[in-house]
Amino acid sequence: MAGSRRHNSLTDQVVAELLELIRAEDYQPGQQLPPVDRLVEQMEVGRSTVREALRLLQARGVVEIVHGRGIFVSDPRVTRVTGALYGFTDILRQRGLKGRSQVLDARTIPADRETARDLQVRRNTPVNLLKRLRFVGDVPIGLETSLTVHARFPDLLQLDWTPETSLYALLQSRYGVIPTTATQRVSATLIGDEECHLLNVAPNSPALLVKTIAYDQEGKPFECGYSRYCADRYDYYVHLKRE
């Protein structure tokens, strides 16, 4: 067990060093990274550790490993890896990308039947609606709508929402809510006429619709949300294991 922890720690360190290398050398999408042998020599670690770090970066969408050709920096797509609960801001930080958001709508509304069921409250209970346009750099990636119970977070919408504000970080620091688990349902959808101009895409462009119900450290649902991500800018990575 201790050996496994040491290996994971070393792999995480190599992942961080590779991300720093990509940033420091200003590698652009499509550019080739040094071969594995050179990375092994530079980082003074084993080949298996470098390969595992590269595999993790490929799962995050940072690099693309093309057998027979080499390792290339990927286009700035957002990749969510199942099995780990991270907010949008955290996912970008892991990739070394800069993200921001623009608040489009922030108001209190009565919970409809589905929202009430998801948040385990009565129908028409006041809930906070927060709708944001999410960016990677200057590229719009998707639209996120978050719903939380107003009585639990009464001043949430009145806080100072900067382009860099993370909802999960704010809920933890201000209200002591620690996101612990979540359920997600992913389905195919289209971007409608009202939203296509925000994302700079044609009407009826394909998108991923992700419905999330997030639970806190006590197992209580604290947020439900709907996110629409441009299909050519967002990946959902699933790792399956046969029992």
Mean per-residue pLDDT, 36-40: 93
Residues 6+ apart with CB under 8 A from 194: none
The arrangement of secondary structure in 2-73, i.e. its CATH architecture, is: Orthogonal Bundle (1.10)
| Torsion angles phi and psi, residue 37, rounded to 5 | -60, -40
Q: What is d(CA 94, CA 61) in angstroms, rounded to the nearest whole number?
A: 10
Rounded to an integer, what is the distance from CA 161 to the centroid of its chain?
A: 19
Query: What is the domain partition of the chain in residue ranges?
Result: 2-73, 83-234
Rounded (10°) CA dihedral 14, 20, 25, 29: 90
Distance (Å) of CA 150 to CA 2, 11, 104, 224: 45, 42, 18, 13
83-234 has the same fold as 2-73: no
Q: What is d(CA 186, CA 210) in angstroms, rounded to the nearest whole number?
A: 5
Read off the pLDDT of residues 172-218 as tens digits, 9 standing for 90 and up.
Answer: 999 999 999 999 999 999 998 889 899 888 889 999 999 999 999 99
Residue 3: pLDDT band (50, 70, 90) is very low
Q: What is d(CA 38, CA 90) in angstroms, rounded to the nearest whole number?
A: 30
83-234 has which CATH code? 3.40.1410.10
Read off the pLDDT of residues 15-24 as tens digits, 9 standing for 90 and up.
Answer: 888 888 887 7
How far is the first Cα of the chain from the last one, in angstroms, to the nearest whole number?
A: 21
Read off the pLDDT of residues 83-98 as tens digits, 9 standing for 90 and up.
Answer: 666 667 776 666 666 7
Read off the pLDDT of residues 148-185 as tens digits, 9 standing for 90 and up.
Answer: 999 999 999 999 999 999 999 999 999 999 999 999 99
Strand partners, 105: 131
CB 65, CB 18: distance < 8 Å: no
Read off the pLDDT of residues 55-114 as tens digits, 9 standing for 90 and up.
Answer: 888 766 678 888 888 898 876 666 666 666 666 777 666 666 678 899 999 999 999 999
Long-range own/partner contacts, residues 143-146 (CB < 8 A, 24 or more apart): 143/104, 143/195, 143/198, 143/199, 143/227, 143/228, 144/88, 144/101, 144/225, 144/226, 144/227, 145/225, 145/226, 145/227, 146/223, 146/224, 146/225
